[in-house]
Chain A
Amino acid sequence: SQTIHQWPATLVQPVGSPLSLECTVEGTSNPNLYWYRQAAGRGLQLLFYSVGIGQISSEVPQNLSASRPQDRQFILSSKKLLLSDSGFYLCATPRLSSYNEQFFGPGTRLTVL
């Protein structure tokens, strides 16, 4: 069955520091992968999606970037964090049994101080 791992689970970082969040998926091959952010008082916002290795599409311009070095690995990065980057970051992939359904990982809570 499909499983999504995200780490770290929580992170507290100072403004201006770099960021690397990792997502790995099991139980599926060549999945579409998504990074979402959920900030306080805001809806779930799609940041990036990837349809294959090395293929990244950005939905929202910002100081974040994403990479997909392996089929089931998706990484979210930043060179310099801003206060506004605080939020709950979720990795997702379509459910194999129902392709329109998004299957979410456990998330990473990022606090930028």
Chain B
Amino acid sequence: SQKIEQNSEALNIQEGKTATLTCNYTNYSPAYLQWYRQDPGRGPVFLLLIRENEKEKRKERLKVTFDTTLKQSLFHITASQPADSATYLCALGRKVYGGSQGNLIFGKGTKLSVKP
């Protein structure tokens, strides 16, 4: 069956360091992969999307890589700040023809804590 795993439930780092979160998947060939941020008691908020034919995507202090051979995505936050503390979810999307867009498969998330 399809499986998506995020490397750890929690990650603690010091302010200013680079946070690296991992998302691995099996039995799946996604058309794209997304990362979301979720704060406690709130819905996830979209951060980045990377397609199967892209290796890297950047947005400000965020960087995402996508290796379809390794079936892995890495999510980096450089110069991390306490405000970056949140749970980060990865999600796989498949090619959809007509009808129902979406049907993303989400990982359980990694809770990032950035200490001052």
Chain A residues near B (Cβ < 8 Å)? 32, 34, 36, 41-46, 49, 51, 57, 59, 90, 92, 94-95, 98-107, 109
Contacts and interface: CB of A to CB of B under 8 A. Distances in A.
B43 A92 contact: yes
Contacts, number: 65
A104 B41 contact: no
Nearest to A95: B46
- B interface, over-half SS: loop
A90 B34 contact: no
Interface of B: 4, 32, 34, 36, 41-46, 49, 89, 91, 93, 99-104, 106-109
A102 B102 contact: yes
Given A44-B89, A98-B49, A34 B44 contact: no
Contacts of B93: 100
- A interface, over-half SS: strand
Given A102-B44, A106-B43, A43 B49 contact: no
5 contacts: A45-B106, A100-B32, A102-B44, A102-B102, A106-B42
A87 B94 CA distance: 26
Contacts of B99: 51
A32 B44 contact: no
| Max chain B Cβ within 10 angstroms of own Cβ: one of A41, A45, A51, A99 | A51
A18 B100 CA distance: 29
Contact of B101 (A45, A59, A100): A100
